[in-house]
């Protein structure tokens, strides 16, 4: 989602940025085949926004007559932008994955002040995702489609990072739109530069066996570049790097880096870069690092890296805002191969195990709540401070783990493990990419951000989490018990169902996929509704009712046993004494 780095883009540092920002932001983690236990590829996405409703988008397969035009509508605001020619055939899309197991996620990083404004018309970042999913079968096709959009139309939004995966490959693509008035006439004349494409960009394939991440900060720095004379012969002479001038070669498996042919010359023509081509850094040029870009953004990637690989503590100073410290690499090789449940849990993070652990300081209240209400920055006695911005955050609309499994038929192999609300307490429910019926609890139009619905998973999960935040250290254990049980059950059920579904096709397969995913969602909704009631009964009025053998205890006469009443944690009690002890001291 956009907006988090708008003021970052203006070059303001520290808490001032965080105070003024609306703090909408997203987190993506990327996992290649060699980094996973079963050889699947995975990307994750948390769509974090204070105004985004959690629902599962669905676009049907469709055919269009020649000359049909498509109205592009800005994903964030709903504002109509421009009309573009529709393609003859579009693929079905469930959330952020299409029927061919192509999945795309994103994070907005804002970028330079001069490029941060939205341009009239053009195509926005959200439309980039959903139009591409309807038009491309794999990651390389997706890059070519996106490159076509950037060549033919203005780019409406701010700087953006995309995660793109199919059953075989995982890519990161970063782009930023051009804006009128940025090119300096004298430099353009000297460079013989003409203002053409609507954006500049770089895409890199994540090496197999490695993991990557991005979270509202541009991550691609230096990148390989093609020789001045491109060797067009296939096979022996083919290079692993191409510019957008040679996109016909993107489908050659050796190609692992693709970039806009204008990405450096545009920066030179604007007066933002005058070094050598080899030293050019996309991120440093188009989204220079600030304190907030480190502490509020790259820190989330660091937290994930720290959980899958040893030796990551060397980057903690950088993550905490020290731009002079050793820079976080674009990708790392994990110590072990991950499975889908671990990836789900990697999306559950409050910087545990780091100096930024949000459950440790007094800001967590008497019950160690690892959330901080907005705004993120504040000032006391002339000093500016920031609350942490972790992967798990209260304002998540929806999140997913997209898993692509090439050994299965496409409509069975692709699963969007979909959840709503806060990633730490969501349940990732298996939505096969071949479904054609979206479960009622996730369905578009079933409630919205200001319309409550009894049958909406988004409202149910928010009701639970907003109660849990009040006594977090106790209540989160009950949430995790149900959460783990459901997800472990789903993973087991998926393994069994895959074998049966892989033998079906056509309408029979469609019915099976719809039935499985809808039953999974219904089970989740039922068990979370039961959890909602259980938590209210158990924790009403700050008490904790006692349990035995899975039931609330009663006295011999049938009354409820007197509840437990745990004290506030000691640090919180000491704070109360420091603030008010002379008044409440027993005498």
CB count in 10 Å sphere of residue 126: 21
pLDDT in the model for residue 195: 76
Q: Parallel, antiparallel, or unpaired for β 97-98 and 93-94? A: antiparallel
* 3-class SS of residue 410: helix
pLDDT tens-digit profile of 332-355?
Answer: 999 999 999 999 999 999 999 999
15 pLDDT higher than 80: no
Mean pLDDT of 537-551: 96
Task: Name the more confident of 587 and 337.
Answer: 337
Q: What's the token pair of residue 135?
A: 């038009």
Please tell me the predicted confidence (pLDDT) of residue 194: 85
- Model confidence band, residue 118 (pLDDT cutoffs 50, 70, 90): confident
pLDDT at 238: 58
pLDDT digits (tens, 9 = 90+) for 36-93: 999 999 999 999 999 999 999 999 999 999 999 999 999 999 999 999 999 999 999 9
pLDDT band at 23 (very low <50, low <70, confident <90, very high): very low
φ and ψ at 90, to 5 degrees? -120, 150
Alpha helices, H only, 379-505: 410-413, 457-468, 472-501
By the 8 A CB rule, do 80 and 73 touch?
yes
Q: Give me the pLDDT at residue 117, please.
A: 83
Q: Indicate whether 19 pLDDT > 70.
A: no
Q: What percent of the chain has pLDDT over 90?
A: 90
pLDDT given at position 35 = 98
Q: What is the pLDDT of residues 285-331, one digit of tens each?
A: 999 999 999 999 999 999 999 999 999 999 999 999 999 999 999 99
With 0-12 / 13-18 / 19 or more C-beta atoms within 10 angstroms meaning exposed / middle / buried, residue 189 is exposed
> Above 70 in pLDDT, residue 385?
yes
25 token code pair: 């932001």
Q: What is the pLDDT of residues 211-232, one digit of tens each?
A: 999 999 999 999 999 765 455 5
Distance between CA atoms of residues 117 and 157, nearest Å: 7
Q: Across the strands, what pairs with 338? A: 36
Instruction: Tokens 């509202």: give the residue.
Output: 216
Mean of pLDDT values over 107-123: 91
For 403-417, how does the pLDDT look when each residue is reduced to its tens digit (9 = 90+)? Answer: 999 999 999 999 999
Q: What is the mean pLDDT of the chain?
A: 93
Q: How far apart are CA 453 and CA 195, in angstroms?
A: 49
Each residue's pLDDT tens digit, 229-258 = 455 544 455 568 989 988 989 999 999 999
Of the pLDDT bands very low, low, confident and very high (cuts 50, 70, 90), residue 116 is confident
Question: Is 180 in a helix, a strand, or coil?
Answer: coil
Cα–Cα distance between 86 and 72 in angstroms, integer? Answer: 10
418-449 burial code (b ≥16 CB/10 A, e <16) = bbbbbbbbbbbbbbbbbbbebbebbbeebbee
Report how far residue 438's alpha carbon sits from residue 2's, in angstroms, rounded to the nearest whole number.
27
DSSP-assigned beta bridge partners for residue 94:
58, 97
Question: Distance between CA atoms of 435 and 543, rounded to whole angstroms?
Answer: 44
**What Cα–Cα distance (Å) separates residue 480 from each residue in 429, 452, 465, 468, 470?**
15, 25, 12, 11, 16
Please check the confidence at residue 21 and state whether its pLDDT lies above 50.
no
pLDDT in tens, 458-505: 999 999 999 999 999 999 999 999 999 999 999 999 999 999 999 999
- Alpha carbon distances (Å) from 487 to 40, 135, 443, 559: 18, 32, 21, 36
> Does residue 22 have a pLDDT over 80?
no
pLDDT for the residue 237:
55
Task: Say yes or no to pLDDT of 11 above 60.
Answer: no
pLDDT-derived band at 119 (thresholds 50, 70, 90) equals confident
């Amino acid at each position: 989602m956009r907006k988090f780095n708008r003021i970052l883009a203006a070059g303001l540092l520290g808490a001032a940025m965080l105070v003024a920002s609306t703090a909408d932001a997203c987190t993506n983690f990327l996992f290649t085949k060699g980094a996973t236990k079963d050889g699947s590829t995975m990307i994750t996405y948390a769509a974090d926004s204070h105004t985004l409703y959690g629902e599962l988008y669905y676009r049907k397969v469709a055919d269009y007559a020649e000359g049909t035009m498509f109205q592009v509508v800005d994903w964030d605001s709903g504002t109509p932008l421009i009309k573009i020619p529709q393609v003859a055939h579009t693929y079905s899309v469930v959330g952020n994955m299409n029927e061919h197991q192509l999945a795309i996620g994103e994070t907005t990083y804002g970028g330079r002040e001069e490029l941060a404004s939205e341009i009239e018309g053009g195509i926005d970042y959200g439309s980039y995702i959903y139009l591409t999913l309807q038009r491309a079968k794999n990651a390389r096709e997706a890059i070519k489609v996106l490159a076509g959009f950037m060549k033919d139309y203005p780019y409406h939004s701010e700087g953006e990072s995309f995660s793109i995966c199919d059953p075989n490959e995982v890519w990161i693509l970063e782009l930023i739109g051009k804006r009128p008035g940025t090119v300096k006439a004298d430099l353009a004349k000297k460079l013989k530069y003409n203002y053409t494409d609507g954006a500049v960009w770089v895409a890199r394939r994540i090496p197999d066996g490695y993991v990557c991440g991005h979270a509202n900060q541009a991550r691609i720095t230096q990148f390989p570049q093609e020789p001045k004379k491109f060797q067009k012969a296939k096979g022996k002479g083919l290079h692993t790097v191409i510019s957008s001038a040679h996109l016909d070669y993107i489908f050659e498996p050796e190609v692992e880096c693709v970039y806009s042919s204008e990405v450096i010359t545009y920066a030179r023509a604007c007066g933002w870069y005058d070094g050598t081509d080899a030293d050019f850094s996309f991120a440093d040029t188009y989204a220079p690092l600030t304190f907030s870009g480190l502490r509020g953004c790259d820190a989330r990637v660091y937290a994930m890296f720290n959980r899958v690989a040893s030796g990551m503590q060397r980057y903690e100073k950088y993550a905490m805002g020290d731009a002079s410290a050793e820079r976080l690499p674009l990708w790392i090789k994990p110590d072990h191969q991950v499975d889908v449940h671990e990836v789900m849990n990697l999306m559950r993070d409050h910087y545990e195990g780091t100096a930024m652990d949000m459950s440790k300081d007094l800001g967590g209240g008497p019950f160690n709540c690892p959330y901080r209400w907005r705004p993120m920055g504040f000032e006391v006695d002339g000093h500016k401070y920031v609350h942490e911005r972790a992967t798990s955050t209260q304002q998540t609309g929806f999140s997913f783990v997209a898993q692509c499994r090439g050994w299965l038929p496409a409509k069975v192999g692709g699963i969007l493990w979909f959840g709503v609300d806060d990633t730490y307490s969501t349940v990732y429910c298996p939505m096969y990419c071949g479904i054609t019926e979206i479960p009622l609890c996730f369905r578009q139009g079933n409630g919205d951000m200001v319309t409550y619905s009894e049958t909406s998973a988004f409202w149910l999960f928010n009701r639970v989490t907003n109660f849990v935040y009040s006594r977090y250290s106790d209540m989160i254990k009950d949430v995790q018990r149900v959460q783990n049980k459901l997800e472990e059950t789903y993973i087991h059920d998926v393994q069994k169902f895959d074998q049966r579904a892989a033998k079906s096709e056509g309408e029979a397969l469609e019915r099976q996929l719809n039935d499985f995913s809808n039953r999974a969602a219904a089970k989740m909704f039922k068990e979370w509704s039961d959890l909602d009631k259980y938590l209210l009964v158990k924790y009403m009025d700050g008490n904790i009712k006692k349990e035995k053998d899975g039931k609330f205890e009663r006295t011999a006469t049938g009354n409820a046993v007197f509840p437990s009443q745990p004290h506030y944690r000691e640090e919180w009690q000491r704070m109360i004494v420091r603030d008010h002890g002379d008044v409440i001291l027993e005498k």
